[in-house]
Structure 1
Amino acid sequence: MSKSLVIVESPAKAKTIKKYLGKDFEVLASYGHVRDLIPKEGAVDPKHGFAMKYQVIEKNNRHVNAIAKALKKANFLFLATDPDREGEAISWHLLELLKEQGALEDKPVKRVVFHEITRQAVSEAIAHPRDISVDLVNAQQARRALDYLVGFNLSPLLWKKIRRGLSAGRVQSPALRLICEREKEIEEFKKREYWTLEADSEADQVAFVAKLTHLEGKKLEQFSIENKDQAQSLVEQLTRAAENKLHVLKVERKQRRRNPASPFITSTLQQEASRKLGYTTKRTMTIAQQLYEGIEIGTESVGLITYMRTDSVNLAHEAMDELRNFIVERFGKTNLPAEPRVFKTRAKNAQEAHEAVRPTSVYRIPEGLESYLKPEQFKLYQLIWNRTVACQMIHATINTVAVDLDVQRPVIKGVISKGSGNLFRATGATIVDPGFMAVYQEGQDEVKEEEQRTLPLMKEGDIVKLLQIRPEQHFTEPPPRYTEASLVRILEEFGIGRPSTYAAIISTLQQRNYAVLENKRFQPTDVGRVVNRFLTEHFNPYVDYDFTARLEDNLDAISRAEKDWIPILEEFWEPFFMRVQEKEQSVSREEAIQVRELGIDSKSGRPISVRMGRYGPYVQIGSKDDEEKPRFAGLRLGQKMDTITSEEAIALFELPRDLGVTAEGKLISVNIGRFGPYVKYDNKYLSIRGEDPYTITLARALDLIEEKNQADASRVIKVFPESNIQILNGRYGPYITDGERNVRVPKDQAPKDLSLEQVQTLISEAPIRKQSRRKAETLGDKVLVKKQAHRVSTQKKAKG
């Protein structure tokens, strides 16, 4: 009988740990979460203490059964899932399932935690087990309950008011709000022109550039020189006054220190990997997981980095000692500070028991591991290794110099008393001692660092040669769109989400088509903006940044046993549910989809509007109350609901293009309708979403028509010409339809062998589809309205 059974999440982790623990241990993987809330209403019951109904995750059921079977041969169970709330919850859920199955048989169960997968860390964890933390489990359950309550109440409301398939998340919605608000800032931005004057100069045959900072004794502001004429006039005035030379008025030299950045936490790792390697947050976390769980190096699997989901910048004493020894050996004692560097965690409620992301051993030098790693693994490991080493090295020493140059020679009597007041300034910097910068420099977002120039040696009173004064035109720029790195940074600053959620937030926004990455920067889609406006207008407290951050703080407090989870859920649920109920009744669909009026069509005199539809945004001319049916046209690729003009909208209706004819001589044309672009042929319509209707060729249209004909042919199993009944291949198997009723073909019958009488019997027993019933009712209402209108008109004529 095996002495102990150890459970981890992944098979890679299991493989590594098995090698460390040896033959007295069996190590199995749960393959992540083993159970979750039932995916339907009632999974969380607020009326009964927020009771949560769980079910086994189907794909992992066989792994749970394998664990239960292996437990029969073991006398001890160790739960060794990841050292965070999610890991704690996985262990708790697995334990609950094993209890339900009666698989424990009073065998002892303990929780073990390690932040790195090394032989020493794993052995120490097994030697010092603990019980499952109820507080961590409650914090995770509270988070899961909150996410469920928001999703299962707001998402159906979005389906009713906007369109099906939409979702609202407790944390993703504030992230979407950030992206949408930044886009609005960009659209409302008014660029402004300004000019600067630069002097190309030379001293001791070394060229340098100086910038005009003072004019007639006054410091220049950004918009002091507003146009070309003003700039050119000043160029001429200063050039005449200077007479091809500038006078050194003041030389200011300083020495400054630059300290290294802290070791990586989850968010900074994601940001730097995005800046320097171009990795998405999801890709970064996937590669980091591989490095953490173990890489085959020779005959052994080795965990190369510590746990990658952390918000702590702490380093273990052993790691710190090893780093300091390595720095002395590799870079010399002069590059080692007198005392170890201790960094302060910026993140709210950081789990200080965790460590920063670091190599499990600094002596595993990246270059020595390159042959064992995939290129993307090597790059990320090298990034982590470099940052960790640099954080314990001495500061960089930088000499800076600023030289003020006057257009006219100042009068000097012991001190500088007077000059022209027209000053140019040249700046430069030289690195005296690179210190940590020899290993690593932190990247920056949205910062345009000035070129680090080395200036020629100058002293007060020197005269330098002026080659020319140049006017430079500039325009103010709107705030930049968020990159993955800058979005993670702002989420962290607001306290929205936690280390384990950043990648999921970003992936969800893209999967839901709420935002897209264009040139590595986030742009909200039309549907993303519609959802955001609906939520901010009607559920503002719940997408408020401070509210979301406070809720995260409460979850952290639960994990520290400072608060109980049930009162926090109660405080959230009651006002939230009441607001959902109230908005369901009070907000119309027209209001929810935020119809934007563009003006009046000059030809028809009917209103032009743009709105969100089932298949995307579209322009509408007219209204549903008009006697004449409204006209519809989908937006072109790149057009936005918030920015399209009435002229651009009207142009959409002028599209119809005749492409040619089919082999049978039937005309083929292309247009854009309410549901997007389409091809019309032989009185049939074929959606061509994804194609550009303005450039699609006849050849491409014919290919699409042929594909459609082949798909239709394979879909039809049998047709009954004497009726409108068909047997078709559907998503869930063959079925019978007459256009209003659908019914599955019985499993014990072959679809092709069914007779007309059999299919008529089956159809007669099937209910009319809801959509068809509504359509019939609507048509009936319209007929009734027309009859009433005709009756009124006849009566008026009779009276007349």
Structure 2
Amino acid sequence: SYGHVRDLPSKDGSVKPDEDFAMDWEIDPKASKRMSEIAEAAKRSDRVILATDPDREGEAISWHVLDILTKKRVLKDKAVERVTFNAITKSAVLEAMAAPRQLDMELVEAYLARRALDYLVGFTLSPVLWRKLPGARSAGRVQSVALRIVVDRELEIERFKAQEYWSVEADLNADSPPFTARLVKHEGKRIQRLDIKDEATAQAARAAIAASPLTIRSIEKKPIKRSPAPPFTTSTLQQEAARKLGFNAQRTMQAAQKLYEGVDENGGLITYMRTDGVQTTPEGLAQAREVIADRFGPAFVPSEPRYYKAKAKNAQEAHEAIRPTNIARHPDSLRLDGDLQRLYELIWKRMVASQMESARLDRTTVEIETPDGQTGLRATGQVVTFDGFLAVYEEGRDERQKGAESEEDDDSSRLPALKEGAIAKVDAIRTDQHFTEPPPRYSEATLVKKLEELGIGRPSTYASILTTLRDRGYVRMDKNRFIPEDNGRLVTAFLEQFFGRWVQYDF
């Protein structure tokens, strides 16, 4: 069918709330030729198997095709079956064919409810916008909320007042290679990152460090474990491809679609790419464990497979996570086009890492004080003692607001071997002025993450929502960040004022 075959005509009255939400469908002109071919083929067959995609949209397409064939009277008493597979591989397709089912009407009704709501919101609001705001293009159930998120962030940035703060650091040595410690106690009081507000306080702290001898009061070593991230869902794939490969959501989904369909007669290279499930089939887990033992050795294989649970608000978890259909197919063994190769490698690494042993690190915290306990410094560092999954993959991080506290910021450095009670000599002291920064504008990765956190949209719609906002001229991209245009801000202000409930995050 090449995707959807019917839709609601874009005119008033396609959904009739007073008649139990009856809907008038129209066959897409491009699809009518294909539907005639399908009807001809159905006439000549003794059964019809509906094998559209395994999600709600796929179920809807099967329902539409079946409805059209019924109206064309080509089915008579032929058997109609629905099969779904999660990967286009010989074994997955044969397995699906062996276990046909009936259409899942609950999924179809979920689709119908969403489609009716989208139509009613779009068709009620868009004409109002056209009349009241020249230049406004459209409103939509998901699109208008996504735009509001971008506009709200811009307002937050405009209201933001920068705060001055100072950091005080010292380069020390205790008959050891040099290491750096930062001020955590001044005049007997604990100091948080933003506590030193001006240069005078910073200089007073500097003088206090320089004036007194410093002693290493305690050294605490803590073993910590880091566990891998689960394999990809649609949303995490889009986020990570944006961070690591610089792809926008649309480019990611186009490449994923090609990998799913496969590039040669060997079939699909990855499982279905519209999913919010993080679980993996038993065969997938066994394959991953075998590959890990083979490539990295038995120490990297945990005693039990790892099982993951979805965190997203409205996760449907009907499908497994996105993974290579054959995990033994290493990225180096494939010769794919640029985007496909890079995306396949990302998916392969993430899947393999998700089943590997945790990374083990030693985190060391060294407390240094003056004899009177009035001034204190702290040095932190961590050392990886066992790579575990880090041998393959580390998840990307989004930029954080400057001035936000984080434990991990100072931990990446290694500390020399030190002894408790040793005297620490000061090599240099630095006082630096900083200003807090406003929250960053959304990138594709962080906006998709926000939509998912709020339960807005579905894996199948993230890419098209972001594209619509750009195409309507409501936002522009600057250094891969969303900046609302004036008419985007106007539309949001108008909708919040007069149709507030419709652009609530939880509508």
Q: Give the TM-score of the pair, scaled to structure 2.
A: 0.96
Q: Write the distance in 2 (CA, Å) between the matches of 1:182 and 1:42.
A: 36
- Contact 2:176/2:417, CA 8 A, preserved across alignment: no
Q: CA deviation at 1:164?
A: 4.8
**Selected match of 1:429 from 382, 388, 395:** 382
Q: Does 1:91 align with 2:62?
A: yes
Tell me the residue number matched to 1:648: none
Q: Is the 2:129–2:137 contact (alpha carbons within 8 Å) kept by the matching residues of 1?
A: yes
- Corresponding position: 1:450 with 2:409: yes
The one-letter code matched in structure 2 to 1:440 is Y
Counterpart among 419, 434, 438 of residue 478 in structure 1: 438
Q: Which ranges of structure 1 fall in alignment gaps of 5 or more residues?
A: 1-29, 411-418, 548-800
Tell me the SS of whatever aligns to 2:241.
helix
Work out whether residues 323 and 389 of structure 1, in 8 Å CA contact, stay in contact via their aligned partners in 2.
Answer: yes
Pair 204,73 (structure 1): closer, same or farther in 2 beyond 3 Å: farther
- Flag the structure with more relative contact order, 1 or 2, with Cα contacts below 8 A and sequence separation at least 6: 2
1:671 maps to what in 2? none
Which stretches in structure 2 are left out of the alignment for 5+ residues? 401-405
Question: If you compute each CA radius of gyration, which structure gives the higher value, 1 or 2?
Answer: 1
The count of aligned residue pairs is 500
1:182 paired to 2:150: no
Q: Which amino acid aligns with 2:486?
A: D
Deviation track 1:534-560 (CA, whole Å, cap 9, x = no partner) reads: 11111111111122xxxxxxxxxxxxx
Deviation at 1:205, TM superposition (A): 5.0
Deviations 1:365-408 (A, max 9, x none): 11101x2x1111011111111111111111000001111112x3
Of Structure 1 and Structure 2, the greater strand share is in 1
Alignment match of 2:105 (pick from 100, 124, 134): 134
Aligned residue number for residue 533 of structure 1:
493
Distance, in Å, in 2 between the alignment partners of 1:113 and 1:381 is 23
Query: How big is each residue's C-alpha offset from its partner over 1:585-607, in whole Å with a ceiling of 9 and x where there is no partner?
Result: xxxxxxxxxxxxxxxxxxxxxxx
1:349 deviation in Å?
A: 4.1
Q: Secondary structure at the match of 1:471?
A: strand
Letter in 1 for 2:311: R
* 2:18 is equivalent to residue 47 of structure 1: yes
State the match for 1:440 in structure 2.
393
**Counterpart amino acid of residue 270 in structure 2:** I
Pairing of 1:95-134 with structure 2 (within 5 A): 95-134=66-105
Q: Residue in 1 aligned with 2:331?
A: 366
For residues 125 and 317 of structure 2, the distance between their equivalents in structure 1, rounded to whole angstroms, comes to 35
**AA in 2 matched with 1:215:** H
The answer for the alignment partner of 1:523 in structure 2 is 483
Residues 223 and 89 from structure 1, CA distance in 2 versus in 1: closer, same or farther, beyond 3 angstroms? closer
Question: 1:99, CA displacement in angstroms?
Answer: 1.8
- Residue 216 (structure 1) shift: 2.2
Residue 203 of structure 1 contacts residue 456 of structure 1 at CA under 8 Å; is this kept in 2? no
What is the alpha-carbon distance in structure 2 between the residues aligned to residue 132 and residue 316 of structure 1?
23
User: Within 1, Cα distance between the matches of 2:39 and 2:454?
Assistant: 43
Paired with 2:110 and 2:76, the residues of 1 have a C-alpha distance of 29
The CA deviation at 1:63 is 1.3
1:204 touches 1:456 (CA, 8 Å); kept in 2? Answer: no
- Alignment correspondent of 1:397: 360
Instruction: Pick one of 262, 279, 284 that aligns with 2:252.
Output: 284
SS at match of 1:460: coil
Which is worse superposed, 165-174 or 427-436?
165-174
What does residue range 680-719 of structure 1 map to in structure 2 within 5 Å?
none
SS at match of 2:178: strand
CA–CA distance in structure 2, aligned partners of residues 543 and 115 of structure 1: 35
Cα distance in 2 for residues equivalent to 1:322 and 1:335: 14
For 1:71, what is the secondary structure of its paired residue?
A: helix
Q: CA deviation at 1:68?
A: 1.8
- Measured after TM superposition, the shift of residue 55 of structure 1 is 0.9
The answer on whether the counterparts of 1:36 and 1:55 sit within 8 Å (CA) in structure 2 is yes
The answer for the alignment partner of 1:559 in structure 2 is: none
Does structure 2 conserve the Cα–Cα contact (< 8 Å) formed by 1:206 and 1:456? yes
Distance 1:511 1:225 in 2: 46
Q: 2: CA distance between counterparts of 1:204 and 1:80?
A: 72
Deviation at 1:102, TM superposition (A): 2.2
**Residues 344-353 or 211-220, more deviating:** 344-353
- For residues 147 and 333 of structure 1, what CA distance do their matches in structure 2 show? 52
1:709 maps to what in 2? none
Measured in 1, the distance between the counterparts of 2:317 and 2:193 equals 45
Which residue number in structure 1 is paired with residue 463 of structure 2?
Answer: 503
Letter of the 2:375 partner, please give it: N
Q: After the TM superposition, which segments of 4 or more aligned residues of structure 1 sit over 4 Å from their partners?
A: none
Query: Mean Cα displacement is larger for which, 63-72 or 165-174?
Result: 63-72
Tell me how large the CA RMSD over aligned residues is: 1.5
- Which residue identity is paired with 1:385? W
Amino acid in structure 2 at the alignment position of 1:309: R
**TM norm structure 1:** 0.61
From 257, 279, 300, give the equivalent of 1:314: 279
**Aligned residue type for 1:285:** M
Q: Tell whether 2:46 aligns with 1:81.
A: no
Residue identity (%): 51
Q: Distance in 2 between matches of 1:255 and 1:511?
A: 50
SS of match in other structure, 1:64: helix
Of 300, 306, 311 in structure 2, the residue corresponding to residue 346 of structure 1 is 311
Structure 2 counterpart of 1:279, one-letter code:
F
Q: Please say if 1:62 is aligned against 2:33.
A: yes
Q: Give 1:331 shift.
A: 1.5
In the alignment, the residues of structure 1 paired with residue 458 and residue 175 of structure 2 have an alpha-carbon distance, to the nearest angstrom, of 56
